[in-house]
Amino acid sequence: MTETPALPVSATGPQRTHPTTVLVHVFRSVPVIVGVGVVVIAQSGGAVLSGLPVGRAVLFGALLLIAVAALVGIGGYLSWSRRFYHFDEAGDLRVDSGVITRTQRRLALSRLQSVDVTQPLLARLVGMAEIRVEVAGTGDSRVVLQYLTLTEAQRLRDEVLARAAGLRPDVGTAPQNVLVSVPTGDLGLSLLLSSTTLVGVLATAAIVALAVLTEGAVGLLGLLVTGGVPIFSAFGQFVRFFGFTVAESPDGLRLRSGLTSTQAQTVPPGRVHAIEYEQPLLWRYKDWVRVQLTVAGAASEENQQGAGTTGVLLPVAPREVAEAVVDRVLPGLAVADLEWTPAPARARLRAPIQWRLLATAADGRVFAARRGRLVRRLALVPHARTQSVHLTQGPWQRRLGLASVRLDIAPGPIDVRALHQDADAARSQADAQALRAKAARSSAGPDRWMSRPRTDAGLDGVS
Amino acid sequence: MSAVDRVFAPPSEPWRRVSPRLTSARRLVLVVTLTLVTVLVVAALTLPSLGGDEALIPTWIPAAVAAVGLVVGAWGWWLVGRRVRSYGYCERADDLLVTSGIMFRRLVIVPYGRMQLVDVTAGPLDRAFGITTVQLHTAAATSDAAIPGLPPDEAAALRDRLAAIGEQRSAGL
C-alpha cells in the first residue's frame, strides 16, 4: 500500500446533522403511535373509551398522541444534539454519538466499500437525505447519518470518495457517464413476467378452479394471499427500481433509482465481489436478465428495509446490455470463452429438474457456476474474491459419485454453488480454486484507487 | 482406498484428528440432557396417576417413553463417537483444510491469505475436559471452518502458526 500524503482536515470541525432530523423522526413515529393506540383499544374491546363521548375520546387520543410524540421528539433532540461527524487528521470519517453511552466510530476510508445517498419519502418531502458509508469489515462496519440537506449529503459523499481515492477532499463531484437507464415499460413488464407473479397467477387460478368445482367460497380467501403477495411484491420493486440508471465515473459505479424514495449508491472500483445473472422463466423469450452484485459490507439484512442498497446492479435489461455493463464492472472477464464442465448425466437422479443446466467453469480470472431451471442463474466470482472453498457430499450424492462445491464470498444476495459435479472433478476443482484464490491476491489494485498509475486506470479510461 | 475416501482425503499426509476427549464431553452433554428430558416427561406422565386407585394414564406409556429415551441415548452415544472421529484438519503450504461429517461430508479449504482472525474458545465444560475450539474467520460469513476438540497446547500452537502465516500473506479484501 502506498503512503498517502496528509490530507487537510475538515475546515469546519465536528458537525451536527440537520436539525430537521428531529422533526422527521417525530413524524415517522406518528403512524407507529397511532397503530399501537388502535391495537390497545381493540384489545380492551373499547373498554378504555367506554362512557366517554366521541368528542372527548378523540380529544383524549390527540393529547396522548401529542404527549408521546413530544417524548419521541425530546429523545430525538438529545440524540441529534450529541451526534457529530468530521474527518480526522488521518483523513478518516469519524462519528461521535450517544446520549448516555458515548460511541466514537472511525471509518478507515481506504477500505471504503460503498457510499449511498438515499431519500426516504418523508425526508424527501422536506429536501433531506441520509448518507450511509460502508467500509470492509465483519459485523457492523457502516455509518448512517440522518438527515442532511441533499446538497450537503452529496458534498459529503464527494468528499468521502475523494479522500478514499487519495485525492484532495475538495475536488467536487466526479464526472459521470450513464451506461444504462432501464425504461419504465420494460421494468413494469418484467415484473409482471417475474416468477413471483407467475406463481401467484397459477395459484390463483387453481384456487378459483377449486372453489368453482367444490362450490365452496372459503378457498377464495386464499386469493388474498396468492393475489396480494405478487401484486405487493411487484409494486414494491416497481417503486424501488423506477428510473434505474447505471453510470460510471472515476469514483466507480453509480446506481440510482426510486419513485417515492430515491437511492443513489456509489461503488468504488474493484469492490465488487461477485456478479450473478438471473433469468426467470418468462423473461427467456425476451432474453432479459437481472444482474445482482455483492459488495463487501452491504450485507443482506439491510435489503429487507425500504432504503439502502439492494444488491441489484440492473433490475432488468436485455442480455447484451447487461453483459456490456458487467464488462465495465469486472473488465476483461471473457465469459463467452469459458469452457463449461457440465454435471454428469447421473446427476439427474439427484436433481431431476435442473441437472441439464448445472455446470461450472474457471479461467485465469473468474470462477463461474450455472444452476436453476425455472430461474436460471449464472454466478461469477473473480478469484481474488474467493474467501474459502467448501466441498460437500450428502449420502445420495455419495451413492452417485457426485459432490458440490461452494465458494464462500462476502455476504450478499449471491450464492456461488457448483452443484452435483463428478466427485473427483469437484475435489480437484476445490483444490485448484484455493490455489487460484491464493495466486490472484497479489494482482489486486491499491485501496486508494486514484493512486495507481494512470495507464492502468481501469474505469478512468472510458469516462 | 475407496472412491469416497479419495474425494475427501488430504493431499499428502493423513488428517490430524481431534482429541477423543471431545467425545467424552459431547457424550456427557448428551446423557445429561437426555436423562433430564426423559425423567421430566416420565414424571409428568406418572404423577397424575399416583393419588387415585385408577391409573389415569396407562403405565406402559411412561415405560415406552423411557425406553425410547434409552434407545435414542444409545444411538446418540454411537453417533457422537463417529462424528468426533470424522473431524480432521491439515495444514498445507498455502491453505488449511478442515473436514467433518459422516452422512453429509464436508471439506473446507481456507487459503491463509484470506484469514481475518482466528478465535480460540473454551467453555467451562471444554476446560473441564481440556479441549478448545479453534475457529477461522474470513470476510465471508459462510466460511465456517471450526476445529473443535483440540488440546489447549495444540490449539495455541495452531493459532500462533496461523496468525504468523496470515500476517505474511494478508490480502485484505
Confidence band for B170, pLDDT divided at 50, 70 and 90: low
Residue B159 lies in a domain: yes
Confidence band for A199, pLDDT divided at 50, 70 and 90: confident
Residue B3 lies in a domain: no
Q: Are residues B79 and B99 in the same domain?
A: no
Q: Which residues of A touch B102 (CB under 8 A)?
A: none
Min Cα distance A417 → chain B (Å) is 12
B138 to chain A, any CB pair closer than 8 A? The answer is: yes
Residue B172 lies in a domain: no
Selection from A79, A130, A72 nearest residue A103 by Cα: A79
| Predicted pLDDT of residue A144 | 87
Q: How many helices (H) and strands (E) does chain A have?
A: 10, 20
Report residue A132 as a C-alpha cell.
Answer: 450511509
Q: Cα separation of A316 and B28, whole Å? A: 55
Q: Which residues of A touch B103 (CB under 8 A)?
A: 394-395
Residue B9 lies in a domain: no
Long-range pairs for A420-423: beta carbons < 8 A, 24 or more residues apart: A420/A343, A420/A347, A420/A350, A420/A351, A420/A355, A420/A358, A421/A341, A421/A343, A421/A344, A421/A347, A421/A358, A421/A360, A422/A343, A422/A344, A423/A393, A423/A397, A423/A398, A423/B3, A423/B4, A423/B7
| Predicted pLDDT of residue A101 | 85
Range in A120-134, A249-263, B4-18 the model is least confident about: B4-18
Confidence band for A458, pLDDT divided at 50, 70 and 90: very low
Q: How many other C-beta atoms are found inside a 10 Å radius of the C-beta of residue B152?
A: 15
Q: Are residues B156 and B92 in the same domain?
A: yes
ipTM over the 0.95 cut-off: no
Same fold, A20-165 and A335-443: yes
Q: Which residue has the higher pLDDT, A143 or A343?
A: A343
Report residue B160 as a C-alpha cell.
Answer: 500462533
| Predicted pLDDT of residue A334 | 76
What are residue B117's DSSP bridge partners? B137
Selection from A255, A263, A26 nearest residue A144 by Cα: A263
In CATH, what number is assigned to the domain containing residue B127? 2.30.29
Share of chain A above pLDDT 90, in %: 25
pLDDT for residue B161 is more than 80: yes
Q: Are residues B72 and B107 in the same domain?
A: no
Min Cα distance B12 → chain A (Å) is 13
- The residue type of A73 is G
Selection from A141, A391, A435 nearest residue B113 by Cα: A435
- Which of A387, A407, A414, A421 to mutate to test binding with chain B, by most B CBs within 10 Å of its CB? A387
Q: What is the DSSP string of B105-142?
A: EEEEEEEGGG--EEEEE--HHHHHHT-EEEEEE-SSTT
Share of chain B above pLDDT 90, in %: 48
Q: Cα separation of A292 and A314, whole Å? A: 7
| Predicted pLDDT of residue A428 | 92
Give A289-301 pLDDT, tens digit per residue: 999 988 876 554 4
Q: Cα separation of A412 and A237, whole Å? A: 18
Residue B6 lies in a domain: no
Q: Which residue has the higher pLDDT, A175 or A157?
A: A157
| Predicted pLDDT of residue A456 | 39
Q: Are residues B144 and B123 in the same domain?
A: yes
Among the CATH numbers 2.30.29, 1.10.1740, 3.30.70, 2.60.120, which is that of A335-443? 2.30.29
Identify whether the C-beta of residue A177 lies closer than 8 Å to the C-beta of residue A247.
yes
| Predicted pLDDT of residue A176 | 81
Nearest by CB to A136, from B94, B103, B173: name it: B173
Give A9-22 pLDDT, tens digit per residue: 555 678 889 988 89
Q: What is the mean pLDDT of residues A112-138?
A: 85
| Predicted pLDDT of residue B87 | 93
Give the C-alpha distances (Å, rounded to integers) separating B44 from A247, B38, B39, B41, B79: 67, 10, 8, 5, 29
| Predicted pLDDT of residue A343 | 93
Give A356-399 pLDDT, tens digit per residue: 899 999 988 899 999 988 889 999 999 988 989 999 999 999 99
| Predicted pLDDT of residue A246 | 92
Q: Cα separation of B95 and A399, whole Å? A: 29
Q: Are residues B103 and B157 in the same domain?
A: yes
Q: Which residues of A touch B143 (CB under 8 A)?
A: 387-388, 408
Q: Are residues B73 and B103 in the same domain?
A: no
Residue B103 lies in a domain: yes
Residue B145 lies in a domain: yes
Domain containing residue B154: 88-167
Q: Are residues B92 and B163 in the same domain?
A: yes
Q: Are residues B100 and B163 in the same domain?
A: yes
| Predicted pLDDT of residue A302 | 45
| Predicted pLDDT of residue A308 | 44
Range in A87-101, A376-390, A447-461 the model is least confident about: A447-461
pLDDT for residue B68 is more than 90: yes
Share of chain B above pLDDT 70, in %: 91
Q: Are residues B78 and B92 in the same domain?
A: no
Cβ-in-10-Å burial (0-12, 13-18, 19+) of A31 comes to: exposed
B172 to chain A, any CB pair closer than 8 A? The answer is: yes
Range in A218-227, A312-321, A381-390, B55-64 the model is least confident about: A218-227
pLDDT for residue A237 is more than 70: yes
- Which of B1, B4, B7, B169 to mutate to test binding with chain A, by most A CBs within 10 Å of its CB? B7
Q: Are residues B79 and B113 in the same domain?
A: no
Identify whether the C-beta of residue B93 lies closer than 8 Å to the C-beta of residue B137.
no
Domain segments of chain A: what residues? 20-165, 335-443
Min Cα distance A437 → chain B (Å) is 7
Q: Cα separation of A421 and A429, whole Å? A: 10
Instruction: Give chain B's mean pLDDT.
Output: 86
Q: Are residues B79 and B93 in the same domain?
A: no
Cβ–Cβ gap B109/A431 under 8 Å: yes
Among the CATH numbers 2.30.29, 1.10.10, 3.90.320, 3.30.2010, which is that of A20-165? 2.30.29
| Predicted pLDDT of residue A450 | 66
Instruction: Give chain A's mean pLDDT.
Output: 82
pLDDT for residue A50 is more than 80: no
Min Cα distance B108 → chain A (Å) is 4
Residue B11 lies in a domain: no
Cβ–Cβ gap A427/B8 under 8 Å: yes
Q: Cα separation of B110 and A374, whole Å? A: 33
- Which of A294, A388, A393 to mutate to test binding with chain B, by most B CBs within 10 Å of its CB? A388
Q: What is the mean pLDDT of residues A131-158?
A: 83
User: SS3 of B144, please?
Assistant: coil
Residue of B nearest to A295 (CA): B173
pLDDT for residue A260 is more than 90: no
Q: Which residues of A touch B113 (CB under 8 A)?
A: 437-438, 441
pLDDT for residue B70 is more than 70: yes
Q: Are residues B103 and B74 in the same domain?
A: no
